[in-house]
Every structure is written in C-alpha cells, then in structure tokens.
C-alpha cells in the first residue's frame, strides 16, 4: 500500500477518533463528520469541474436527492442504511447519466447556467411538494445509522461509518483521476477534436464522469440525512453549491488532495473565526479572496499533485497502472 494511503487511513481511523475521545466534545465530533461529508462533495465535484473541466453548480441537486431518498425510505419503509446507500447512489447515477448526456452538449458558461437552473428547480420542488417532502417544515425524526440488526448510536459509530464511506469515495476519485481513464478525460477536457482523433468519445466520457459525480453526491446526502436526523429545503440552496465549488477552487482544480484540503478549510476556518463575531463572514471572504489571488491554481494544483503521486507510487514500488511491481 502506498505511504500516502497508510497515512490517510491512520489519520482518519486512529488519530482523529483518539483526539475526539480525549476532547469529549460532541460538537467537535459533529464538526469532524461535517468535514468528511464536505470532502465527499468536494472530490465528487472535482471529478466533474477539475478533471473533466465542466463548471457545475448542481451539487445540492444530487446531495439533496440522496438525503430525501434516505429520509423517506427509512421513515416509510424501515430500510437499512446500506440499502439506501445503494438505491440512492444507483438512482442518482442513472439520473446523472440521463442529465449528463443532455448537458455535455453545452459548453463553458452555458453548462454552468444549466446546472444552476437545476439547483434552483430542485430547491423549489422540495419547498413546494409538501405531500412528499413536507415542504418548508422539513423531514424530522430520521433514524440513525442502522446496518442489519445493528443500530449505530453515538458519535463513534456515526463517525466511523462516515469515515469509511468517505475513504471509499476518495479512493474511487483517486483511481479514476490517476489512471488511463483519467488521462482520457483530461484529454477530452483540453481539446475535444484531438481526443476524437485519438479514438476517444469526449461526450460519452464527460457524461460518465457526470454520472459518477452524481452518485457520490447522493451517497453524501444519505450520510447527511442519517447523521443530522433532520433535513429541509434550506439545507439545499444554491449557496451550498457555490461553497463546495469554492472549496475545489481554493484546494486546486483537478487535485483530489486539493479538493479534500479545500473542504476542510471551508468547514474549519469559519469555526476558527467565531471569535470575531459578526465579522466572521467578512473575514472568511477575505481569506478566500486572498488565497485565490495569491494562489490562482489552488493550494495543491493538478500538475503538482499528479507529479507528487507518481513519485510516491514509484517510491513504493507501484507501477504506472497502480499495480505492485
């Protein structure tokens, strides 16, 4: 196993839980779970916006779909968490493929405007479809994580479930990005005509990436519904999509590690700025503005991250295709 993977596993599964146990603060545990959820959203959006080059603002569509699907299935049919994870992810992937096939024909800002329209339409739907979503009152009383006969209560069970799913999503994003498939998607991003000359199908590749990103965001929505125990239309407004996009840009477009770092910054920096009171929003905005101005390619740019990962894999005796030599 490459050294970065070992470090990540030890950090999320040993170090962070130990620190949370020593702190004994439920709020800190909830904050850690929120970081992990945002990491899933950021790495999913990074696949679409960073690797495939399609600027999207529809995060709340599939995130909210997964959350409402999990809430309604668990309350009405008593389904387990794993069943909801599979059903919501598969349904979002299918919907994402259908939407992606239509939207990838649009270029640049037109794609972004179309996805923004999807986000606005989704919020209006969950706000006004009271018979299904309970409208502005939201869905309350969502049960916690249940796997078979096991009910995972308390911060430890919730954290470990969220961490394991987050690690799985990061692994999928990493394998897609650092592979021949990822190279093909980047080729389609840079020049579709050259990609076609190489025998690639740029639109099909982008539609596939769109479907994968939708499935990962729906998975994050399932986790959010069961960990928060309440969801409502105000949780899925367009601003949330913009914030996740900000995390990807600050971390570094095209970089999985950068997206994860940007997500952590997006959640933790506002909490660190609580001491400045009502100026917290202004201070956070100034920090984001300065980071984009001084580091336009993000904290961890795509080129830098690709070179670092290849050196790390080579040092660990792993080949270019990710197999042990």
Identify which of 116, 114, 8, 70 has the alpha carbon closest to the alpha carbon of residue 220. 70
CA nearest 69: which of 59, 57, 81, 58?
81
Report d(CA 34, CA 28) in Å as an integer: 10
pLDDT at 321: 46
Q: Please compute the mean of the pLDDT values over residues 46-75 and round it to a whole number.
A: 95
* Confidence check: pLDDT of 319 > 60: no
Q: How confident is the model at residue 1 (pLDDT cuts 50, 70, 90)?
A: low
In this structure, the number of other CB atoms found within 10 A of the CB of residue 282 comes to 11
Question: CA–CA distance from 238 to each of 83, 103, 115, 122, 241 (Å)?
Answer: 28, 19, 10, 10, 5
Residue pair 208/9 in contact by the 8 Å Cβ criterion: no
Residue closest to 54 by CA, chosen among 45, 63, 62: 45
**Across residues 251-276, what is the average pLDDT?**
87
Least confident of 157-161, 168-172, 301-305: 301-305
- Tell me the three state secondary structure of residue 318: strand
pLDDT-based confidence at residue 150 (cuts at 50, 70, 90) = confident
Cα–Cα distances (Å) from 50 to 47, 56, 89, 302, 321, in that order, read: 6, 10, 21, 8, 21
Residue 119 CA to residue 199 CA, distance in Å, equals 34
Helix (H, G, I), strand (E, B) or coil at 304: helix
Q: Tell me, letter by letter, the H, E, C secondary structure of 187-248.
A: HHHHCHHHHHHCCCCHHHHHHHHHHHHHHHHHHHHHHHHHHHCCECHHHCCHHHHHHHHHHH
pLDDT beyond 80 at 54: yes
**CA gyration radius, the chain:** 20
Q: Where are the beta strands (DSSP E) in the chain?
A: 145-147, 150-152
- Enclosing H/E stretch for 157: helix 154-177
Mean pLDDT of the chain: 87
Q: Provide the pLDDT confidence category of residue 21 given band limits of 50, 70 and 90.
A: confident
Q: Is 59 exposed, middle or buried (0-12, 13-18, 19+ CB in 10 A)?
A: buried
Domain ranges of the chain: 4-236
pLDDT category of residue 280 using cuts at 50, 70 and 90: confident
> pTM for the whole thing?
0.89
Residue 284 has pLDDT above 60, yes or no: yes
More confident residue, 212 or 300: 212
User: Lowest-confidence range among 14-28, 79-93, 180-194, 256-270?
Assistant: 14-28
Percent of the chain at pLDDT > 70 equals 90
In whole angstroms, give the CA distance from residue 20 to residue 13: 11
For tokens 């329209």, the residue is 117
Residue 295 near residue 249 (C-beta atoms within 8 A) = no
Between 3-12, 58-67, 88-97, 183-192, the lowest mean confidence (pLDDT) is in 3-12
């Amino acid at each position: 196993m490459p050294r970065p993977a070992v470090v990540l596993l030890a950090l999320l599964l040993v170090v962070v839980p130990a620190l949370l146990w020593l702190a004994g603060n439920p709020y800190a545990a909830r904050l850690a779970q929120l970081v992990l959820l945002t990491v899933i959203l950021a790495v999913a959006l990074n696949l679409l916006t960073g690797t495939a080059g399609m600027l999207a603002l529809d995060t709340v569509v599939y995130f909210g779909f997964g959350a409402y699907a999990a809430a309604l299935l668990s309350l009405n049919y008593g389904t387990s968490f794993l069943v909801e994870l599979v059903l919501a992810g598969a349904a979002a992937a299918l919907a994402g493929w259908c939407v992606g096939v239509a939207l990838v024909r649009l270029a640049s800002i037109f794609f972004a405007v179309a996805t923004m329209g999807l986000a606005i339409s989704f919020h209006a739907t969950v706000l006004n479809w009271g018979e299904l979503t309970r409208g502005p009152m939201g869905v309350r009383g969502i049960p916690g994580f249940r796997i078979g006969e096991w009910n995972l209560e308390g911060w430890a069970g919730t954290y470990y479930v969220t961490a394991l799913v987050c690690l799985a999503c990061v692994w999928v994003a990493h394998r897609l990005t650092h592979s021949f498939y990822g190279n093909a998607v980047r080729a389609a991003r840079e020049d579709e005509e050259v990609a076609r000359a190489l025998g690639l199908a740029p639109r099909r590749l982008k539609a596939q990436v769109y479907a994968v990103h939708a499935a990962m965001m729906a998975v994050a929505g399932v986790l959010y519904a069961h960990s928060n125990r309440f969801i409502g239309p105000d949780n899925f407004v367009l601003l949330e999509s913009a914030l996740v996009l900000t995390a990807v840009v600050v971390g570094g477009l095209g970089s999985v590690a950068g997206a994860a770092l940007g997500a952590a910054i997006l959640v933790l920096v506002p909490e660190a700025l609580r001491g400045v009171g009502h100026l917290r929003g202004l201070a956070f905005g100034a920090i984001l503005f300065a980071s984009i101005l001084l580091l336009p390619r993000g904290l961890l740019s795509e080129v830098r991250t690709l070179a670092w990962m290849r050196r790390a894999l080579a040092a660990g005796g792993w080949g270019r295709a990710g197999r042990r030599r």
